[in-house]
Each structure stands twice: as C-alpha cells, then as structure tokens.
A = this chain, B = another copy of it.
Amino acid sequence: MSEYIEHDIDGVSVGVVEKKFFNFAEPPNQMVLENGKKLGPITIAYETYGRLDPEKRNAVLVFHALSGDSHAAGYYDPDDPKPGWWDIMVGPGKGIDTDKYFVVCSNILGSCMGSTGPCSINPETGMPYGLHFPVVTIGDMVEAQKELMDHLGIEKILSVVGGSIGGMQVLEWCARYPDRVRSAIPLATTTRHSALAIAFNEVGRQSIMADPNWNNGDYYAGEKPNLGLAVARMIGHITYLSDESMRLKFGRRLQDKSDFSFNFDADFQIESYLRYQGKKFVDRFDANSFLYITKAADYFDLRKQYGNGSSVEAFSKTKAKYLVVSYTSDWLYPTYQSRSMVKAMKKNGMDVSFCEIEAEWGHDAFLLPNRTLNSMMKGFLERVYNETE
C-alpha cells in the first residue's frame, strides 16, 4: 500500500506509553447490561496520552474498531517495531494533538485485549466465560467507558472520536450522555448496519462456528478455531478494501511465480494477502470476541434505541457539535448512510460539518494517513475547544 498513501504526516510519537487497568462492578455491585443480565467484576484496559488540564476541559476519547485495542498511539517499548494503531492521528502536533488534549483510549467490553470479554475468567466457575459471557451491546461498551470517565474524574468530554464500530460508540455516547459530550467525530460509520453489513458479519460468525475446534465456544484449554477465524478475518478484509483499491494494490498479479500453478496454492497476490491476514489475525485475536463484537455491531440501531425508528428523533436529544466523515469508496458504510445521519442532525438545527473524503481505500481509509482528515480534525477540535466555556 506504501506507494499510494501519504507518509510524511506522521510527525513525532507520544513516545513510550503504558497500558493501565481499571476495575469496577465488583459483586454485588455488578453492571446491569442492556439485555438485563449482570456482569462483574469488569476490567477495562486503557491508555492515556497528553495531560488532563486543571479544568478537565481537554479530554478526547478515542474508540477503536472491531479488532483494535487501547494502544492507539506510541510504543510500549522503544524497540517496538510498530506504534499504536492510530499513531498517525494521535500525537504531538497531529490531528488529535497530545500537546493540547488529554487522549483516552480503552479496549471495548467483550474484546480480548485486556478488557473483560469471553476469554476472561468467569468468577463463578474459575474458567473462561466462553459462551457464558453475556451478549453485550455498543451501549454496554459505552457504559463501561462512562465508568472509566467517572473514575478519571472527567465530567465533560471535549470530543468523542472513532471510526467504524468506534463510530457507533461515538454516536451512542452522544445519545446516551448528551450532557457529557461537547463534540463528536464519527468516521466511516453508520447509525445502524445494513443487511449487507449484517450478512458479512454473519458469514464470519458461521465460519468460526463451523470450525470443530470452536466447540460451542469452549476451546480455551485446547486447540483454537484458528481456521474458522482466519476465514472470518479474510471476509472482513475484503469488506475493508474496495474494488478499486484491490485493483490498484493487487490486480491480477501473481505471487512469486510466472504462471498459474494449476493447483489450489495461492496463485494471485490477493490470495496470498488474504491468507496472510487471516493467519496473522488468529495469533492476536479471540474467536469468541469476534462473535460478540460483530453481534453488538449488528444490534446497534441508534434510531430504534433513541428515536422510535426515526434518526431525526434519535439525534434530537443529543447536544454535541458534529464532524461527520465518510469515504467515497467505503462500501461497508457507504456515504449515503453518513449523509442520512447528517440530514437528521441538520433537521435538528445542530452544529454539524460533513466531509466525504475522496479515497480509493474503501472502509479502511480512516486508518490511513490523509492530510485532509488530519487538518480537518485539528481545526474542528481547536474550534470546539475555543468555544468551550
């Protein structure tokens, strides 16, 4: 991908950072989930970058997508080969400027990167939860983040920022805690999944559940459903790209050969790429977390939850200033879905900026360096900060 994207906006890193843990919901004070079930104790892994100002007016919450974690920026160790997943955006002088803002990124509830999820130990059994873990929602994830904010003593958040499933958390925050969010930047996201998005998630889930090693979610003591999870990840990667980006990046180029193999090896570069992405993923991600997080994304429906089916009504109770961003080649959450959200905000007379960024990289574009996005976010955050009493 390197030859097509802009690299010179990386700037300086926040440097060495540390993963922290926040524990709450100790029984009997468990958290009551949207589905009525109780969960606790809960651990939330999180990181912070920059300093909270004395008035606590400069907190920016960053949310990760499906497979991300709390490590948005910097390095755990100076020798780490790669920084956090959004290092291009979060750092000194960057789009989310850590010289000015106190940035918090936490791992979502249900994940497997330090926060409580299906691979965590169920205190009732002393064994990993597996499918005994309750089905959590985007609302539950936000509720856990709210507990973290209370713990950090942050009442009002300057901005909530995230792409994809992270963008759903942005929208959920605005609707659930309108008085605590001053501004919001939902990127490459939607108020609810289309049938197409649900379809891709469902096929990924079916692939995992078809793997005999999945064993109804109870695999932590034995072989993991790596083959099923790898296929699920491959499907995901197709949806993160686009027809155009795949054509530019791979076309019909062959992988390390001059002609077809006439067997079922990977002939084409796109095949190698997908197999590699699938294999790499199983080393770092838990198959059950994939099931739970995709289900939460499919269930997410801002209109149903907050507006009786109307997005105008759903946004009517929110108070944030919005910067909505979509990408021309994103066919998972196409621009028309962002436009519809912007329309609903405007009908409510809200302060909303919208930008559709020209990018061939599909849904994944929000993770790639883009000068337009960086300067737009920088400008937006500066404005809302300056407008804050």
Contacts and interface: CB of A to CB of B under 8 A. Distances in A.
Interface of A: 35, 131, 134-135, 192-196, 198-200, 202-203, 205-207, 209-212, 227-228, 230-231, 234-235, 238, 241-243, 246-247, 249-252, 260, 262-264, 266-271, 274-275, 278, 291, 295, 298-299, 301, 331, 334
B194 A243 contact: yes
A252 B207 contact: no
A198 B243 contact: no
9 contacts: A135-B263, A194-B252, A195-B269, A196-B241, A199-B270, A203-B274, A206-B274, A264-B291, A331-B331
Contact of A196 (B203, B243, B267): B243
Contacts of A231: 203, 206-207, 210, 231
Mostly, the A contact residues are helix
Q: How many copies does the complex hold?
A: 2
Among A200, A212, A230, A234, the most chain B Cβ lie within 10 Å of the Cβ of A234
B209 A268 contact: no
A260 B299 contact: yes
B212 A228 contact: no
Q: Which 9 pairs across A and B sit closest by C-beta, in order of nearness?
A: A210-B227, A195-B246, A135-B262, A195-B250, A35-B262, A195-B270, A202-B271, A203-B234, A196-B243
A195 B274 contact: no
